[in-house]
Amino acid sequence: KRHLISAADLTRDDAVLILDTAEEMARVADRPIKKLPTLRGRTVVNLFFEDSTRTRISFEAAAKRLSADVINFSAKGSSVSKGESLKDTALTLEAMGADAVVIRHHASGAPYRLANSGWIDGAVVNAGDGTHEHPTQALLDAFTMRRRLVGRDAGIGQDLSGRRITIVGDILHSRVARSNVHLLTTLGAEVTLVAPPTLVPVGVGNWPCEVSYDLDAVLPKSDAVMMLRVQRERMNAAFFPTEREYSRRYGLDGDRMAKMPEHAVVMHPGPMNRGMEITAEVADSDRCTAVEQVANGVSTRMAVLYLLLGGSEPAVTTTARTEE
């Protein structure tokens, strides 16, 4: 495959290959010298039209650990603010020889447009488009769950069959939820969405998951509980219950976390609204994988870049061993 636009495009075997490759990459990250020469001479452009901390930095770290040259482009401070179009921006990047463009855009569908426009020859990776998808977030989430619920070594070659994953909060505006529902069900997990009725998308009945409005009833049956940020910037006030009401019914605090099975983990893609969807007590607890997810994001994005750009190069394990 040349691009990564949607988690829905991945087969079970594609997804397991990415997770297994990410484990190989994580072994490199554990070594004193964290670099592989695999993408030497290649150029990765991070094209960000929307703010980001984790995704942008981890794609930069991932590309650098594979020895690629990295160009960071932020719409703020660029000629986009003078009205330059996506097409002219893309043609400019093409002229600079981009082998891969990692794009975050406020418009759903922008990465698909870029991949199918003919404006650029390189691989396109969706780093989050509007309320549509964020496939590398879902991959790093699945990687984190596989490690925690199946095991680091035991997980190789395995999927998430039979694992029960609960995703809680602002599903309506969440590209993370959409990508996770696709990927986790492809990997054999059972997904339940929990949200206020106003934050559940129309058409969710066609998604391969259950919907519940009762968080307390679902928690004891969950192996992982993923809390989502309430995206106030994307919503009309009429959509939203009061903050107090939201936290009371859908927030995760220590008492609620105690209802989860002992082995179950709490996840959050970040950024977190502490005190809203998750209390500081839960966010800072050993059961919360938020920081681990960020670290896993680098290995997972290394795997994606390697598989898209470096497929004809020596296998990762071989390369890693040669460097030892």
Q: Is 54 annotated as a binding residue?
A: yes
Nearer to ligand CP, 67 or 231 (CB): 231
Question: Hey, is 165 helix, strand or coil?
Answer: strand
Question: How many residues touch ligand CP (CB under 6 A)?
Answer: 9
Give the residue from 314, 204, 215, 303 showing the smallest Cα distance to 257: 215
Angle at CA 181, nearest 5°, toward 117 and 48? 40
Q: Which of 34, 35, 52, 256 binds ligand CP (CB under 6 A)?
A: 52
Q: Check residue 270 for interaction with ligand CP (CB under 6 A).
A: yes
CA distances from 87 to 39, 45, 305 (A): 26, 15, 23
Question: Which positions from 55 to 94 touch ligand CP by CB under 6 A, shown as an x/- string?
Answer: x---------------------------------------
Question: Which positions from 224 to 263 touch ligand CP by CB under 6 A, shown as an x/- string?
Answer: ----------------------------------------
CB 137 within 8 A of CB 293: no
CB of 20 to ligand CP, least distance (A): 23
Candidate segments 48-56, 67-75, 144-152, 186-194, binder of ligand CP by CB under 6 A? 48-56
Q: Which of 42, 59, 114, 128 binds ligand CP (CB under 6 A)?
A: 128
- Give the neighbor-by-neighbor strand order of the sheet with 224-227: 210-212, 190-194, 164-168, 224-227, 265-267
CB of 301 to ligand CP, least distance (A): 11
Give the residue from 220, 152, 208 showing the smallest Cα distance to 182: 208
Q: Which of 37, 208, 271, 275 binds ligand CP (CB under 6 A)?
A: 271
Q: Check residue 169 for interaction with ligand CP (CB under 6 A).
A: no
Give the residue from 227, 191, 228, 226 showing the smallest Cα distance to 208: 191
Q: Is 249 annotated as a binding residue?
A: no
Q: Which residue is nearest to ligand CP (CB)?
A: 55
**Cβ atoms within 10 Å, residue 157:** 9
Candidate segments 46-54, 162-170, 187-195, 315-323, binder of ligand CP by CB under 6 A? 46-54
Candidate segments 26-34, 51-59, 156-164, 301-309, binder of ligand CP by CB under 6 A? 51-59
Nearer to ligand CP, 270 or 314 (CB): 270
Candidate segments 71-79, 143-151, 268-276, 310-318, binder of ligand CP by CB under 6 A? 268-276
| Assigned token pair, 207 | 């998604």
- The answer for residues whose C-beta is within 8 angstroms of residue 21's C-beta and 6 or more apart is 303, 306, 307, 316
Q: Where are the alpha helices (DSSP H) in the chain?
A: 12-29, 54-65, 86-95, 110-115, 135-149, 175-186, 215-218, 243-250, 254-257, 280-283, 290-309, 316-323
Q: Check residue 111 for interaction with ligand CP (CB under 6 A).
A: no
Annotated binding site for L-aspartate: 82, 175, 229
**Contacting residues toward ligand CP, per CB under 6 A:** 52-55, 128, 137, 269-271
